[in-house]
Amino acid sequence: MGSPPAALSGPVLGVESSCDEMAAAVVDTDGAILSSEVHDQAEVHRPYGGVVPELASRDHLRAVSTVVAAALAKAGLETKDLAGVAVTAGPGLMGSLLVGLSFGKALAYRAGLPIVGVHHLAGHLAAAELADPELRPPYLGLVVSGGHTALYRIHESEPATTLGQTRDDAVGEAFDKVAKLLSLPYPGGPSLARLAEKGDETRIAFPRPMEDAGLDFSYSGLKTAVALEIEARSPMDETARADLAASFQAAATDVLVTKAIRALDEQALSRLAIVGGVAANARLRERVAEAAAREGFHASFPPLSLCTDNAAMIAAAGARLLARGERHGLDLTAFSRVRLDEAPWVAPASGARG
């Protein structure tokens, strides 16, 4: 048998295309973000009120080479200066994933660079560590986005352990669906949060699904309760709409905070990282900060630019894999669905920072 590949250090190019953002970034060995470019598709999908997979992948095809070139130019680098390439392998929309993955493999092959596939959620967790030097394993990771709501125990040198996850809808999906019920503009989650700022969150007593049970989540019942409330109150003036948005947001985020505190206690952990698109929600950030001060744990949120999908997080996670000697072949393929703890080859290389 041959010897294992040597660990590499140096700038890593990350490519992210799991949904409706085409992103590229360069992250250095020490975790410095040298560049981060994101091409979003809000205008492409706005007429349809949600992401259309076929349109997403076609737009990725048009944008990928330009976005990667911009990331390299902003970093002041050429492909020959890179130590490797990291690309999102999944989960996500297959058409979108294949665009970024194919481009990344072609670039790596042409430049003679090693390539690693990164689990999208491993990227989000890497974003928290990238932004907060005090965040070291073991810690609790809460991933909250349009496709994911889950709690993980992040270990020093082994794959993450799933502690709880949604049994139906993700919290970000619930935000988007309620926004659509209120006829708010796309993207729905941020639009609903802005409307909620004007409302009274105590006006409507929406249920907190599974708040008192375990570490799993459920948001389908809350969505149904909101739909029935809208039907019963229609037509609503702007004040009533704001109150409903605020009351929904309170119910959705209260469950996240309660479950996170419970998991910290059960796992005897003192550090919490909240990542994913919903981690940008101001109310969630406020309630977690209040709980951290009250309960005495350390809470980390990535900056807003690293909450939503980006390639800096993929480059950071990939750099850690490369640094410990991981390599993937050109037969690397995309996967639409797989749990983080079921894909150890793309799990976070927690604790390794280059």
pLDDT of residue 354: 31
pLDDT of residue 62: 97
pLDDT of residue 353: 33
DSSP-derived 3-state class of residue 29:
coil
287-322: pLDDT as tens digits: 999 999 999 999 999 999 999 999 999 999 999 899
pLDDT of residue 183: 95
Q: Quick one: 207 exposed, middle or buried, by C-beta within 10 A (0-12, 13-18, 19+)?
A: middle
Quickly tell me which residue has 């503009």 as its tokens: 185
pLDDT averaged per 10 residues in sequence order, the chain, 354 residues: 64 97 94 96 93 96 98 98 97 97 98 96 93 92 96 89 96 97 95 98 97 96 97 96 98 98 98 97 98 97 95 95 90 89 52 34
β 84-90/12-16 pair status = parallel
CB of 15 closer than 8 Å to CB of 23: yes
| φ/ψ (deg, to 5) at 227 | -60, -40
DSSP-derived 3-state class of residue 155:
coil
133-188: pLDDT as tens digits: 889 999 999 999 999 999 999 998 788 899 999 999 999 999 999 999 999 999 99
Instruction: For the chain, give the longest Cα–Cα distance.
Output: 72
Distances from the Cα of 298 to the Cα of 68, 131, 162, 198, angstroms: 35, 14, 20, 30
Rounded Cα–Cα distance for residues 161 and 33 (Å): 28
β 12-16/21-27 pair status = antiparallel
- Cα dihedral: 342, 348, 349, 353 (round 10): 180
Domains contained in the chain, CATH given: 12-125+306-346 (3.30.420.40), 137-301 (3.30.420.40)
Rounded Cα–Cα distance for residues 334 and 58 (Å): 17
